[in-house]
A and B are shown apart, each in its own frame.
Chain A
Amino acid sequence: MDMFANLALGLETALSPTNLLYCFVGVTLGTIIGVIPGIGTLAAISMLFPITFHLDPIAAIIMLAGIWYGTTYGGSTAAILLNIPGAPANAVTALDGYPMARQGRGGLALLMTTVASFIGGSFGIIILTLFSPVIAGYALQVSSAEYFALMLLGLVAASTISDSSALKGLAMVVLGLLLSTVGMDAQSGAARFTFGNLALLDGLSIVALAMGIFGVAEIIASVRKINVGDIDRKTISWSAMLPSRDDVRRSWMPLVRGSSVGSFFGALPGTGPSVAAFMAYALEKRSAKEPERFGNGAIEGIMAPESANNAADQTAFIPTLSLGIPGSATMALMLGALMIHGINPGPNLIIEQPALFWGLIMSFWIGNVLLVIMNLPLIGLWVRLLTVPYHLMYPSILMFICIGAYSVRYNAFDVFVVLGFGLLGYLMRVFALPAAPLLLGFVLGPLLEQHFRRAMVLARGDFTAMLERPVTATVLSLTGLLLVWSVWSGWRKYRARVRAQQAIEA
C-alpha cells in the first residue's frame, strides 16, 4: 500500500514537465558522450556541475543521473561497430560485438544490446526500489578482507576471458596489475615507478589506458585494411536487425545472470559497471556449453556484460542514496549536487525527501524508456557509420580519443600516455597478447592491493584472522577450487590434443 503511494508520488514528480525535460536532456547527452570514444561521464558531469547550482535539486540529479546511465547505453555502439569501447565499462562488449559486426550482424548486436541495457537497467531499478535499505546494510558488513577475497575470485574467474592461450591471458592480467601500481602508494606515500615525474604520481589514467590499448591499437591495425566495399549493404537493413529464434533463446539466461551479477557489483562501493561487465562476461563463458564460441560473435558475450553494466549503473545509487557513500567520483559529484542544496543523503533521505527519492527512481524508468525509444531509430544511423570510408573515420576517432584523454584532468601528459599505450596495444596485437585481461588487472589492481593491506592492518598482521571470517573463507576456498579446476581442465584439453596429434601421426 505504502509502496504504491510512494511510487505514485515518484511518478508525479518525475512526470512534471521540468523534470521530464531534464531527464531527456540528461539521457541525450549521455548517449552522445557514450557513443564518442574517450570522453567520459566524469568529465561531462563535472563540467555541467555548476549549472546545477541554479536548478531545483530534483531536476539537477535527474539530469546528472541521466547522463550517467545514458552513457552506458551509448558506450556499446563504438565497441560493436569499431572495436573501440566508448567507455571502459564497454570494453568486454567489443570481444563478441565486433566479430558480430564483421559478420554483418552489427545491427542485430546494437538492437540486442539496447534490449540488454533496458532489461539490466530495469532489473537494477527493481532491486533499488525494493531492497535499498537492506542491501545498504549488507554492503556495510563487507570489510576489506571480503573485498580482497571477492576481487581475487573475480581476477581468477576472469583471467581467461580472452580467446587465446590461458598463459597469455594470465600474463596480461599480471601486467595490468603491475601497471596499476604506478603512482603514489596510498598506504606509505612512496612514489612507485614515477621516475620523478609529477604527473605520474596520481597514477595512469584508465581512460588513457583503455583508449590506447583498444582504440589507437585498433586504428593502427586497421588503416588501409578496412574497405567499405566489404560490408554487404543488405546486412544494414532493418530486417537483418531482427533476432532469430535461436538468438532469443540464447539471450535469456545471460540476461538474467548478467543483471544479477551487475546488481551485486553495482551496490558495492568501489566496484562499478566496469568490474560488473567483466565478471558477467567471465561467468557467461565459464558456464557456457561451448566456450569456444566466445570471441567469435557469440550473442551471449554481448548480452551478459551489457545487462550487467546497466544494472550496476542503477544499483550504484543504493550506497549513494541510502548511506550517503558514493562508490565512485562520478557518484560523489551527483551527491554533491544534492549537498549544495542542503540535502544530506543518508538513511533519512527516503523519509525526509520522499519526492526526491521516489521521483529519482521513477525518472530512471522514464529515462530507460526514453533511451530505448531514442536508440532504436539511431541504430539504423549508427550502422551506416560502417559505410563511412575508414580514411575519414579514423582521424575523427583519433581526435575524439585525444580530446577525451585530455579532458580527464587537462594534462597533455595523459595524451602521451595514450600514445604509449597505443604502441603497447599494437605490439600486443602483433604478439597475439589479449588486451581485455590487461584492462581487468588494471581496474582490479588497486582494489586488490589496498584492501589486502588494509585487511592485514585491521587483522593486526594475522593472516589466519582473515580466514576466520566466514564470507572471506568461503570466497577464498571458491577461488582455490576454481584455480584447481582451471588447471585440471587445461591439462585435460592439452592431453586430448596431444593424443589427437599422436593419432594423426600414427
Chain B
Amino acid sequence: MMNRDYRDMVAGGLLMALGAGAALYASASYNLGTITRMGAGMMPTALGWILAAFGAAIMIGAYFRPGPRPEVRVVTPIFILGGVAAFALVIKPFGLLPAVVACVVVSSMAERAFKPVRWILLSSALCVLAYLIFSVSLRLPIPVVAWPF
C-alpha cells in the first residue's frame, strides 16, 4: 500500500492529457459547426473535454486516499507485442506459415526460457492447424507461403 493512490493519479493524469490533446487537436483541425448543425470536429472536441474532466476527477479523488502498488510487467509485453508485430511484418511478403512461425517463436520468448525444440514442435503443429482451418476449410485468400523477390 502507498499513502496516496499514485496508480489512479497517474491514470487520471494520462486520461486528462489524452482527452485534452484530442480536444485541442480536433478543434484546431476540424470544423466545429453548431450544436444543431454539428461539424466533424464537434463530437471529438466535446468527448475530449469530457474525458479530460473525468481524468481530472479520477486524479483528484486519488490524491486523498491510499492506494495499492500496481505490478507492472515490462519484458513480457515486449515479447507478446513483438509476436504480434512479427506476424504483421511477415504476413504480407512471406505468407501465412512464416508469419505463424514468427509470431509463435517471438511470443514464446515471453516465457524467458530457451526451448528451441518446443518452439519447433509448437510452430509446426500450429502451421498444420492454421493451414487446415484457414486455407483448406475457410479458403481465406492468404498465400500459404510467398516469396517477394
A and B touch in the complex (CB under 8 A): yes
B40 at interface (Cβ–Cβ under 8 A)?
yes
How many A-B contacts if CB must be within 8 Å?
Answer: 193
Known: A224-B112, A399-B103, A399-B104. A181 touches B43 (CB 8 A): yes
The 8 Å CB contact of B77, one of A406, A426, A433, is A426
Known: A47-B139, A410-B141, A423-B81. A432 touches B7 (CB 8 A): yes
A contact patch SS: helix
Q: Which residues of B contact A422 (CB under 8 A)?
A: 77, 80-81, 84
Decide: A407 and B142 in contact? CB cutoff 8 A. Answer: yes
From B5, which residue of chain A is reached at the shortest CB distance? A432
Total chain B interface residues with beta-carbon distance under 8 A? 72
Q: Which residues of A contact B73 (CB under 8 A)?
A: 220-221, 426
B24 at interface (Cβ–Cβ under 8 A)?
no
A481 at interface (Cβ–Cβ under 8 A)?
no
Decide: B142 and A406 in contact? CB cutoff 8 A. Answer: yes
Decide: B99 and A402 in contact? CB cutoff 8 A. Answer: yes
**Binary CB contact string for chain B from 33 to 50 against chain A (1 if under 8 A, 0 otherwise):** 011111111011001101
Q: Which residues of A contact B80 (CB under 8 A)?
A: 216, 219-220, 223, 394, 398, 422
Which residues B79-106 have CB closer than 8 A to chain A?
Answer: 80-81, 83-85, 87-89, 91-92, 96, 99-100, 103-104
Decide: B39 and A178 in contact? CB cutoff 8 A. Answer: no
Among A7-15, A254-262, A449-457, the stretch in contact with B:
A449-457
A291 at interface (Cβ–Cβ under 8 A)?
no
**Binary CB contact string for chain A from 162 to 178 against chain B (1 if under 8 A, 0 otherwise):** 00010110110011011
- Least CB distance from B68 to A in Å reads 8
**Binary CB contact string for chain B from 2 to 41 against chain A (1 if under 8 A, 0 otherwise):** 0000011011001100110010011000110011111111
- Least CB distance from A151 to B in Å reads 13
**Binary CB contact string for chain B from 98 to 127 against chain A (1 if under 8 A, 0 otherwise):** 011001100110111000001000110010
Chain B CB count within 10 A is highest, among A170, A223, A419, A426, for A223
Decide: A171 and B51 in contact? CB cutoff 8 A. Answer: yes
Decide: A395 and B108 in contact? CB cutoff 8 A. Answer: yes
Chain B residues packing against A (C-beta within 8 Å): 7-8, 10-11, 14-15, 18-19, 22, 25-26, 30-31, 34-41, 43-44, 47-48, 50-51, 54-55, 57-58, 61, 70-73, 76-77, 80-81, 83-85, 87-89, 91-92, 96, 99-100, 103-104, 107-108, 110-112, 118, 122-123, 126, 129-130, 133-134, 137-142
Query: Beyond A170-B54, A220-B81: 16 further Cβ-contacts under 8 Å?
Result: A29-B137, A36-B133, A220-B77, A223-B76, A395-B108, A398-B103, A398-B107, A399-B104, A399-B126, A406-B91, A406-B142, A419-B84, A422-B77, A426-B77, A430-B70, A461-B37
- Show 14 A/B contacts (Cβ-Cβ < 8 Å), sorted by A: A33-B138, A43-B138, A168-B58, A174-B19, A174-B50, A175-B51, A181-B47, A188-B31, A192-B30, A220-B81, A402-B99, A406-B87, A422-B81, A432-B70
Chain A residues packing against B (C-beta within 8 Å): 29, 32-33, 36, 39, 43-44, 47-48, 165, 167-168, 170-171, 174-175, 177-178, 181, 185, 187-188, 190, 192-193, 216, 219-221, 223-224, 391-392, 394-396, 398-399, 401-403, 406-407, 410, 412-413, 415-416, 418-419, 422-423, 426, 430-433, 449, 452-453, 456-457, 461-463
